[in-house]
Copies of this chain bind each other. A is one copy, B any other.
Amino acid sequence: MSALTTVLLNLFVIYAAAKLAGALFSRLGQPGVIGELLAGILIGPHALGLIGVPTVGILDLFQGNREAAEHALELVLESFAELGVVVLLFTVGLETRATDILRVGMRAAAVGVLGIAVPFVLGFGFMALTGHPGLESAFVATALVATSVGITARVLQELGVLRTREARIILGAAVIDDILGLLILAVVAGAGSGEADTRAIVLIALQALAFVGFIAWAGTHATRRFSVRLDDVNEIVPLNLSLLLMLGLAALASIIGLAGIIGAFLAGMVLAESRERFNLEHQSRPIYEFLVPVFFVFTGTKVDPSALTDGPIVAIAAAITLIAIISKLAGAGVGMLGAGRRAMLIVGVGMVPRGEVGLIVAGIGLSQGIIPADIFSVVVIMSIATTLIVPPVLSAIYQRSPETGAAAVITHDISDELELDAPPAV
């Protein structure tokens, strides 16, 4: 089987598994994303091995070097997954005006800052108290810091509550969270390589803030002006310009060290400001259907059940995962003080997933020789566990008190309520 045939077959299996599991879970009244994650666990290289296993064609491409072939196939699938989550956050952005985020700005800032500070302090404390070196403890604490908002955004979208106050606080906090996480990583990684350069760190901070601020401000204004001129053209032109902006800002955010999905979210948000919106939500739907499930299935394939057979590692992993969950709940909860127990719980749970961000931090620590391999596994388990736990818990919270949720929707015009909010089965 040639390399391209392998890729086609992998994509087919991913897509088929996603749609099958998604349809099943929708029918059970659960978010389809849970089905997609479980399907990924099932078909991944650690379980059935239906995807991610290099064939002769890929092995030939790398002169029989199995490790290189595996990395290459994983990079291919990861690239499709990344494009999927970029599209996801872009569509989430389309439903979020900058003014909506600014309206919850203070809350989002409080949640973002406290949701970073508490996990860092608790994580560092636990590691240091259990006898790990300072720098190793700092790296693990940093891996506990940054929220990966993709999973939460998808669940909120499937539940049809993206336009509630809580959802907007989560999205705003995730942007702030990502910038702060980047800074902490710069500090810790700098200390790790012995080149802690204050000027470089300040530069990173300014760059990230300038990026987010400039895009949100200038983009919003430019879209308002520009959109008037585009009113007469075929709707394909605005779609192409929007996809260009999505890819461009995702790449740019990624280059300056932020998550690519933050750029994609900002691209969507900037375009949401344009009143007409050129039918963008409707038009991006087929791309969403095609690419977004790849991300969640791929995330599932990362789960390696065999990592759970090593007693001592599992014990530390359980402790770190618990700290990761409790510290985010506490940090975000304090940030939401006075907003009511339900809102505190939703925002807290929504900020729990660490996803790929923690893995990147731990990966740097591993490559610098600061984190040993077993602690890296601990971070991997924590990252996956916090990701898997959120969809069922978050949807359970909404299902127990749906009426309050509906009342909290602060949408301004009904015509904006679109099908993206509640995808159907298959």
Q: Which of A65-73, A102-110, A301-309, A328-336 contacts B (4 or more CB under 8 A)?
A: A65-73
Binds B, one of A169-177, A249-257, A404-412: A249-257
A217, CB-defined interface residue at 8 Å = no
Q: How many copies does the complex hold?
A: 2
The answer to whether B8 touches A254, judged by C-beta atoms less than 8 angstroms apart, is: yes
How many angstroms between the C-alpha atoms of A180 and B234 in the bound complex? 42
Q: Is the CB of B255 within 8 A of A11?
A: no
Stretch at the interface among A74-82, A93-101, A122-130, A268-276: A74-82
B68 near A260 with CB under 8 A, answer no
Give the docked Cα–Cα distance between A285 and B251 (Å). 24
Judge if A61 is at the interface, Cβ distance under 8 Å.
yes
Return chain B residues, CB-CB under 8 Å to A260.
Answer: 4-5, 8
Q: Give bound CA distance, A75 to B86, whole Å.
A: 21
Contact of A1 among B79, B240, B255, B419 (CB under 8 A): B255
Kindly state whether residue A425 has any CB partner on chain B within 8 Å. yes
B interface footprint on A229-258 (CB within 8 Å = 1, 0 otherwise): 000011011011101100110110011000
> Across the interface, do B255 and A5 meet the contact criterion of CB distance under 8 Å?
yes
Q: Is A373 an interface residue (CB 8 A)?
A: no
Which B residue's beta carbon lies closest to that of A425? Answer: B237
- Judged by a CB distance under 8 angstroms, whether A423 is at the interface is yes
Known: A8-B82, A250-B8. A426 touches B62 (CB 8 A): no
What is the chain B residue whose CB lies nearest that of A68?
B68
Contacting chain B: which of A154-162, A286-294, A344-352?
A286-294
A12-20, A112-120, A192-200, A207-215 - interface stretch: A12-20
Q: How near does chain B come to A150, taking the closest CB pair, in angstroms? A: 13
A4 in contact with B244 (CB, 8 Å) = no
Contact A16 B236, beta carbon cutoff 8 Å: no
Q: Provided the pairs A62-B71, A289-B240 are in contact, do residues A12 and B248 lie with their beta carbons within 8 angstroms?
A: yes
Residues in chain B near residue A425, CB distance under 8 A:
237
Cβ of A424 within 8 Å of any chain B Cβ, yes or no, is: yes
Bound-state Cα–Cα, A2 to B244, Å: 21
- A72 proximity list for chain B (CB < 8 A): 68, 71-72, 75
Contact A426 B237 (CB under 8 A): yes
Q: Is the CB of B251 within 8 A of A8?
A: yes
CA distance A366 to B120 in the complex (A): 57
A278 to B4, CA, bound (A): 30
Residue of B nearest to A10 (CB): B251
A7 at the interface (CB under 8 A from B): yes
A286 to B1, CA, bound (A): 30
Alpha-carbon separation in the docked complex, A367 to B254 (Å):
39
Q: Identify the A interface with B (CB < 8 A).
A: 1-5, 7-9, 11-12, 15-16, 19, 58, 60-62, 65, 68, 71-72, 75-76, 78-80, 82-83, 86, 233-234, 236-237, 239-241, 243-244, 247-248, 250-251, 254-255, 260, 283-287, 289-290, 360, 367, 419, 423-426
Supplied contacts A8-B250, A8-B260, A15-B244, 17 more A-B pairs, CB within 8 Å: A2-B360, A3-B75, A5-B251, A5-B255, A5-B260, A8-B86, A8-B251, A8-B254, A12-B250, A16-B247, A16-B248, A62-B68, A80-B80, A239-B286, A240-B289, A285-B286, A287-B287
The 8 closest A-B pairs by CB, nearest first: A72-B72, A5-B254, A12-B247, A8-B251, A9-B251, A12-B251, A7-B79, A68-B68
Name 28 interchain pairs, CB-CB below 8 A, sorted by A: A3-B75, A4-B78, A4-B79, A5-B260, A7-B82, A8-B251, A11-B83, A12-B244, A12-B247, A12-B251, A15-B243, A16-B248, A19-B240, A19-B244, A58-B75, A61-B75, A62-B71, A65-B68, A68-B68, A71-B72, A80-B80, A234-B424, A236-B419, A237-B425, A239-B289, A241-B426, A286-B286, A287-B287
